[in-house]
Structure 1
Amino acid sequence: MAHLDFTQPPFDVLSMAERQSIRKNTQIRYLAKSESLLAEELQCLYVVIKGQIEQSLDGEFVGSYLGSNHSDHLNNNDWFDSRRLPESSANGNPNTEALQTYQFTATEDTLLLQIAGSAVGKISAQNHLVRQMLSDKLPERLKALQQRRNHKVTNPNAYNDQQEVQQIMLQPVIDVSLLPVHIVDASNSLYDAACIMTQVGLKHVLVRPSNPSDNTEDKHHGTGHMLGILTDTDICRAVSEQQNPATTTCQRYANFNLRTINATDEIGDALLTMTRYRIHRLPVIDHNGDVAGVLGQSDMLAHIGHHSQLISIQIEQAKDLSSLNTAVELIGRYIRVQHQNGVKIGNISRMVQTLNAQVFTKLWQLIVPDEVMANTCLIVMGSEGRGEQIMRTDQDNALIMRDGYTHDDLAQFADTFNSHLATLGYPLCDGNIMMTNPMWRQPLKAFNAQISWWFKNTDPMHGIYLSAILDGEYVCGDESLLTQVRQHLKVAHRQSDPMFVRQFARAALQFGDVNQWWQKFVPLLGGKADSHDIDLKKAGIFPLVHGIRTLALENDILEVPSTKNRLKALVKNQALTQERADNLLEALEFFMAQRLSVALSTDDRHARQVNPTTLTALERDLLKECLSVVKSFKTQLRQHYQLEIA
């Protein structure tokens, strides 16, 4: 009798007692060619020993599971959980498919190990890793894959340390020891504020504005959003300007453009905010809108022991292209270490976006005079703008200029910027979507006029250009210029043909579904290994990104370029269910993680192709599931926008 391989998932995490229970509840099941599992047998976990099983739903192919006889490259057998139900329907109604079940049919004579579902269920209730691997929820199974990858770290101590760091990064900021809140009135003198700082041992106080109506922050919350901050540095500046601290008010030197963070936000979000805006203190706002405390940078860094801040300092201190290149190389090492240590891909990509933005800002500062910086807005687009770029691929950037402002050397500055970025390892854009192209270096009024023209959809490239600008994210300069472009995007869309968004959505369907790659393994066809690779970008990433981008455009969600934040807004607008949004995001991040794995193992900057035969059974199962999520989402788009193309 064939035996279970307890070195392979999901059985490699079982205790000795759990393995013994599985052995007692396992039997051989033989299926002749074209024979299907009976309805009463769809409550078991199966391992394919020899042969091949085809999974279908209402006669439509879903996937295949192979025995080890089909490939010398696969050192483990595929397994499937027949208890798993189809994904919830595309329209968000969980009852639509609740009564449906998958069908499993042998495409040749097949031997299976059949494990009783009752035994698996009992073990799942006690073993969270097994429960995650067999979960109906895609996010849970992806967590299991992440944990399995973490176990491959050769240094257990490094693994444990990194796991602790990742867990801490996901904790709410309220878990960090916060600095106490001390508030002074804006009419108080700097001397009064300094006395309070000295008495309580702080380097700052919060400042209550004299006229709250002048504050531009959100007034729909408590007083926390209306406060300013005064630091010891501000008082030193006043003294250096020969101001009398006893008579000079806090109002004059306090900063009321205050960055805050919610108490329920993650520590990782706080780190990103501090790193991006180069600030050292964040007032923490509670559910009433009041300040619960102040998060200090040193306290937070001590809490998490993270080293991205060191790269940020290296970038800030760069004086020339050579020293900036050193910082860029550190970003590459940071990516590799974080991925190898099992940090979630979304956390890596968002931090890399922040660090890259600092690189671009520093480079622009090294090239242009302050006058240009003050009158222009540098933005990045595409995956860099969405915060979903990890490895350095093609540049996508633009320069928005203030109306009426000119500089004779702007074209030269743009050329220097793009060429220096290429030297730093950010390749030039093949589509020329860069500020060296005059189309992407224009005054605000001309930029907006061009956007209006693109919405007329007179050229296939216009959809590509609009996709780029919709993903635009601020890097440096006058951010209000980008804000005005985003406002114009709303206006231009509302003034466009009502059918525009329907045509815009078609791009998400332009690549065919990858339905039957499971049947195209090399040993079955005798072809070359790379001839059946899956293009992760075409099959997974692009349909998800562009489909979500289209839904965001339809719902006037133009303030946030990232797919994650678009999904949040779509859920808030009730355009998607929370479960649907979670599955879409998890699938996207799975594809991103696979691309990064390819990039790190091959040094291929495009890193789009993955060979299914190189994946473990668990990874193949998740790849199938994520591709099924993409297929279901494309069906949803096709129905929603009434698109007839397949």
Structure 2
Amino acid sequence: MVELLETLKSHPPFSYLDEISFKRIEKSAQVAYYPNDTILISSSKKPEVLYFIIKGTVEAASEDEMIDFYHSNDSFGGIELLENRAPEYDYKVTEELICYEIPEETFIDIAERNEAFKHYFFSSIVERIDLLREKREFTLMSDIMVARVDENIIRQGTRVSSQMDITEALHRMEEEKSSCLIVDNAEGYGIITDADLRHFILHKEDEELELVSQIQTYPIITAGKTELLFNILLKMTEHSIKHLPLLDNQGTFAGVVELTDLLSYFSNQSYLISVQMDKAHDLEGVIASAKRVPMMIEALHTKGVKSRYIVKLVSEINKKMYQKIFDLVVPRSWHEKSALILLGSEGRNEQIMRTDQDNALIFEEGFEPEDAQEVTERFIEVLDEIGFPRCNGGVMILNEKWRKSLSAYKSDIERCLEHPDYEGLMDLAILFDSVAVAGNTLLHEEVKTYLMKGIASNHSILTHFARAIETFESPLGLFSRFVSKDRDHMGEIDIKKGALFALVHGCRALALEYGIKATNTTLRIKELNNAGFIDKESATELMEALEVLNTFRLHAQIEKSHKEVTVDNYITVEKLSKLERDLLKDALKSVDMFRKLVVHHFHLGIVG
């Protein structure tokens, strides 16, 4: 029983309770078993206990229509007990059930004494997502505690002789972009850091400082190259040092760990990746640092960082990555005569996990490089090696449709506006959600301005443009039941087609109407609020719905990457807890209300 109670403590809302409350539960709660088809609570009678499922499945149904289902670690009956009423549905066992039963008196008394516990049962969408983060917050700590030194966290350090002239050593340090000097002595190593260099600058004349040996710190504190990272952090903290030299098994210098890199590793590795990307001088360096991004994403997600903050970090790192690849792969003669742009989710700064490539090139008028196919093929191959899947729709610089002159883009825009069809309008949507990351960015600005002016002078096109919002149905059916119509993905829902597309495209169409230049959906929602299209409460609800949808998608994508299966946009509903399912339903309802608002606003019901 004690072991079972420990499981209870790790799940909201029980995680809010103190030891006194758990002692009360331990004394009064019972473990019960029910076979299949048992009616636990009927819609005609108030429950007498709160149920917490240890094992098995329970369905809530109304007239044989399933409304919801509950499995391990879910609880039910709480709202009915707090409101002293019968439930709206029947609760029936569909898979042999083992559960806790917490008596009504105990449950009510604990709820009255603990506001957070009681409030959980009536929490809103914004509050529930905070609860969801709390549930996942510290699950990475065990991995961090046993992590050892990684090659990517080691800096080489500049080695110099103890008899070298200090000025000469500083020139070496500058050439190699090092933050410290490792000094070779007859017996062991010394180190020179910024503190030693300050001493040299202030006292070089009065102390006649000339040789490296005169300003080094000797002997130095070291650690083994295979030491635990946590032990290294403890040693650096204990001695108040920012640089710790590492020695291999033979006692030979093997590199330096810097405090900034170490702290970055323990937080999210973003600083380390960014520095590595900045310092990369070849494609191998770019690829190595870019491959660390998924690890950073998982660390941030597990700690409960909002997906919109993760995506900002990932977008900044990816922009640096694209700039580096552009500099290293694309000939110098192209740099002032072309612009590399990112499209789709990358253009909106909304891609977290690497789902597909979406990129294009705009050439200055009259510039037609003969080696375009060869260069773009190499560019895409680098992205392949990093782990970006190729776009199935061909929205890549390999495709001549997305690698053409400024005038060719303008001609395509004109054609789409004069003769709108689904494919052409989707191309406009892709182009509208774009950002320039390298080359002559003025070319991109001209294309975006031309597109927005074309829309402004042909306002009726917006209705046709917005109509794509009706392309996909919501996965939420009657009685708020999840509906999965894809035979290859039974029990799963496509979060992108079923919800994200409607929200993203609706905001995109409205952004075109209101002349909003921002590409990011969250920023567009804020601008629509500023423009008076939606009120602040609705804007907040939509932003939180977007956060929920992206969080669930990211969680599922991380799980699939662990299993080395295709990363897609499907999430398995049956694996979600009751809290998560309720949260997802609220988000889907918010998107559906927004979809109806857009349909009404653009009069889509009368579009032919």
Q: Secondary structure of the equivalent of 1:64?
A: strand
Structure 1 34/340 Cα, relative in aligned 2: closer, same or farther at 3 Å? closer
* Matched AA of 1:142: I
Structure of higher RCO (CA pairs closer than 8 Å, 6+ residues apart): 1
The structure with the largest alpha-carbon Rg is 2
* Matched AA of 2:88: F
Q: Which residue of 2 aligns with 1:532?
A: 491
Structure 1 584/121 Cα, relative in aligned 2: closer, same or farther at 3 Å? farther
Of 329-338 and 599-608, more deviation after overlay is shown by: 599-608
Q: Which of 507, 520, 523 is equivalent to 1:565?
A: 523
* Matched AA of 2:502: P
Q: Which of 591, 601, 608 is equivalent to 2:569?
A: 608
Structure 1 position 599 matched with structure 2 position 557 = yes
| Unpaired stretches in structure 1, ≥5 consecutive residues | 69-73, 86-101, 160-297
Q: Deviations over 1:284-335 (max 9, x none)?
A: xxxxxxxxxxxxxx9xx99x97642321222233233322211111112222
Structure 1 position 453 matched with structure 2 position 399 = no
How far off is 1:561 after superposition? Answer: 0.7
Of 541-550 and 350-359, more deviation after overlay is shown by: 541-550
Q: Secondary structure of the equivalent of 2:450?
A: helix
Q: Which residue of 1 aligns with 2:60?
A: 53
Distance 2:403 2:76 in 1: 53
Distance 2:470 2:335 in 1: 40
Q: How does 1:74-473 map to 2 (within 5 A)?
A: 74-78=72-76, 81=79, 104-106=88-90, 122-123=112-113, 125=115, 127=116, 131=119, 133-134=120-121, 136-155=123-142, 307-473=269-435
Distance 2:49 2:372 in 1: 65
* Matched AA of 1:433: V
Q: Which residue of 2 aligns with 1:619?
A: 580
Q: Which residue of 1 aligns with 2:192?
A: none
* Matched AA of 2:309: N
* Matched AA of 1:577: D
Structure 1 position 578 matched with structure 2 position 536 = yes
- Contact 1:142–1:590 (CA under 8 A) maintained in structure 2: yes
Q: Secondary structure of the equivalent of 2:413?
A: helix
Distance 2:272 2:577 in 1: 36
Distance 1:328 1:521 in 2: 37
- Contact 2:59–2:70 (CA under 8 A) maintained in structure 1: yes
Q: Secondary structure of the equivalent of 1:442?
A: strand
* Matched AA of 1:637: V
Q: Which residue of 2 aligns with 1:504?
A: 465
Q: Secondary structure of the equivalent of 2:89?
A: strand
Distance 2:363 2:50 in 1: 62
How far off is 1:480 after superposition? Answer: 2.0
Distance 1:534 1:79 in 2: 27
TM-score (norm 1): 0.62
How far off is 1:23 after superposition? Answer: 10
Q: Secondary structure of the equivalent of 1:581?
A: helix
| Unpaired stretches in structure 2, ≥5 consecutive residues | 31-37, 147-259
Distance 2:123 2:26 in 1: 24
- Contact 1:66–1:77 (CA under 8 A) maintained in structure 2: no
Q: Secondary structure of the equivalent of 2:341?
A: strand
Q: Secondary structure of the equivalent of 1:155?
A: helix
Distance 2:80 2:505 in 1: 33
Distance 2:544 2:393 in 1: 29
How far off is 1:52 after superposition? Answer: 3.9
How far off is 1:364 after superposition? Answer: 0.9
Structure 1 position 554 matched with structure 2 position 541 = no
* Matched AA of 2:325: L
Distance 2:61 2:452 in 1: 47
Structure 1 35/432 Cα, relative in aligned 2: closer, same or farther at 3 Å? same
Distance 2:318 2:472 in 1: 31
Structure 1 395/23 Cα, relative in aligned 2: closer, same or farther at 3 Å? same
Q: Deviations over 1:142-165 (max 9, x none)?
A: 011011111434439979xxxxxx
Q: Deviations over 1:71-117 (max 9, x none)?
A: xxx353446647999xxxxxxxxxxxxxxxx9823376999989699
Distance 2:310 2:325 in 1: 22
Distance 1:394 1:381 in 2: 11
Q: Which residue of 1 aligns with 2:233?
A: none
How far off is 1:420 after superposition? Answer: 2.5
How far off is 1:493 after superposition? Answer: 0.6
How far off is 1:581 after superposition? Answer: 1.8
Distance 1:109 1:427 in 2: 43
Distance 1:636 1:114 in 2: 45
* Matched AA of 2:326: W
Distance 2:82 2:359 in 1: 45
Q: Which residue of 2 aligns with 1:66?
A: 69
Structure 1 308/32 Cα, relative in aligned 2: closer, same or farther at 3 Å? closer
Q: Which residue of 2 aligns with 1:11?
A: 14
- Contact 2:483–2:493 (CA under 8 A) maintained in structure 1: no
* Matched AA of 1:426: F
Structure 1 614/521 Cα, relative in aligned 2: closer, same or farther at 3 Å? farther
Q: Which residue of 2 aligns with 1:637?
A: 598
Structure 1 420/54 Cα, relative in aligned 2: closer, same or farther at 3 Å? same
Q: Which residue of 1 aligns with 2:257?
A: none
Structure 1 108/76 Cα, relative in aligned 2: closer, same or farther at 3 Å? closer
How far off is 1:118 after superposition? Answer: 7.8
How far off is 1:398 after superposition? Answer: 0.9
- Contact 1:533–1:609 (CA under 8 A) maintained in structure 2: yes
- Contact 1:84–1:136 (CA under 8 A) maintained in structure 2: no
Structure 1 402/629 Cα, relative in aligned 2: closer, same or farther at 3 Å? same
Q: Which residue of 1 aligns with 2:231?
A: none
Q: Deviations over 1:512-539 (max 9, x none)?
A: 22224976799xxxx9995121112122
- Identity over the aligned pairs, expressed in percent? 28
The RMSD of aligned alpha carbons is: 4.3
- Contact 1:46–1:82 (CA under 8 A) maintained in structure 2: no
- Contact 2:474–2:499 (CA under 8 A) maintained in structure 1: no
How far off is 1:372 after superposition? Answer: 1.3
Distance 2:595 2:587 in 1: 12
- Contact 2:343–2:433 (CA under 8 A) maintained in structure 1: yes
Structure 1 48/22 Cα, relative in aligned 2: closer, same or farther at 3 Å? closer
How far off is 1:611 after superposition? Answer: 1.7
* Matched AA of 1:412: E
Distance 1:507 1:83 in 2: 45
